[in-house]
Structure 1
Amino acid sequence: MPYQDVFVLFWKQVKESLEEGRFAKLTMAKTIGKPNLRNIFVRPVYSEGGFKVLLKLRYRSKETEDQEDELTLEEAFVVMKSHLRKSFSSVLLFTTTKDVTFKINKKGAGSITESLPTFSDATSADNDVKK
């Protein structure tokens, strides 16, 4: 199945984990080549304006400062989708009940695998947000 279709299925699991309070963290890893962008992290943020996520772009070079933005989940989806198969070949969803890994192979097919959870509880990124 094309990776775009599989990513939509994966993203449904992301939304469900958030709705059920099981979402711990989302990480884009496995860079393609040696881009300056090393990782993308998404963590939940609960604020007065409702639910948002903290999207953090972490760079390899010390000259490039890491970026953090509070976004809606849909805005984070657009950012992450734009980096698939260009900069990253996998996305890891960490929840309190299971870890879910989305991968793109060299032929452009996507797959989803599940494993035991890494996190036992979900914590908010509220304290990490730089104002």
Structure 2
Amino acid sequence: MSSYQEVFIVFWKEVEKSVQENRFAKLTMAKTIGKPDLKNIFIRPISFDKDAKVLVKFRYRSRETEDTENEYTLDEAFTILKPHLKNSFLSVLLFTTTKDVTFKINKKGAGSIIENYPTFNNVTLADNNED
């Protein structure tokens, strides 16, 4: 039985592949443990060139805490998300134009990947221009 970290690496390869093939629509970290202030983490594509960029948004529960958005490479996004697995979030949803892929961690700490039909038919790039 593999640990959730190993399964997450397999899941992340799906993320990378979907970005390389311009199929990546969105990624959401959900199912928080307890009621932490951090409610969700969203990732949306900004560009698909060889140095693909993504917009990482941290959404908070309390109105006092402002949501934050930053631009990262895919590798940087992986490094940012990884510590939140199991500590804050039990599932990560990858939405692509060909399939939805869900990564889940169960109570025993084991990871699993489930594939479903796609939610999104096309990709909308995030607007990274500040107003």
1:69 aligned residue = 70
Q: By how many angstroms is 1:123 displaced?
A: 1.0
The two structures have a TM-score, normalised by structure 2, of: 0.94
Helix, strand or coil at the partner of 2:11: helix
Letter in 2 for 1:100: V
Q: By how many angstroms is 1:66 displaced?
A: 0.1
2:92 aligned residue = 91
Q: By how many angstroms is 1:6 displaced?
A: 0.1
From the superposition, tell whether residues 4 and 47 of structure 1 become closer, same or farther in structure 2 (CA, over 3 Å).
closer
Unaligned runs of 5+ in 2: none
1:29 aligned residue = 30
- Superposed CA deviations along residues 60-83 of structure 1, whole A, max 9, x for unmatched, are 000000000000101100111010
- Quick check: 1:40–1:57 contact (8 Å CA) kept in 2? yes
Unaligned runs of 5+ in 1: none
1:130 aligned residue = 130
- Quick check: 2:20–2:48 contact (8 Å CA) kept in 1? no
1:111 aligned residue = 112
Give the alignment's Cα RMSD to 1 decimal: 1.7
Letter in 1 for 2:59: R
The two structures have a TM-score, normalised by structure 1, of: 0.94
Letter in 1 for 2:130: K
Larger mean CA deviation between 47-56 and 84-93 belongs to: 47-56
1:7 aligned residue = 8
Residue identity over aligned pairs, in percent, reads 65
Divergent runs of 4+, >6 A:
none
Helix, strand or coil at the partner of 1:94: strand
Structure 2 Cα separation of the partners of residues 82 and 38 of structure 1: 15
Letter in 2 for 1:35: P
Structure 1 Cα separation of the partners of residues 43 and 129 of structure 2: 12
Structure 2 Cα separation of the partners of residues 74 and 130 of structure 1: 23
- Quick check: 1:54–1:129 contact (8 Å CA) kept in 2? no
Q: By how many angstroms is 1:49 displaced?
A: 9.6
Helix, strand or coil at the partner of 1:29: strand
Q: By how many angstroms is 1:91 displaced?
A: 0.1
Helix, strand or coil at the partner of 2:56: strand
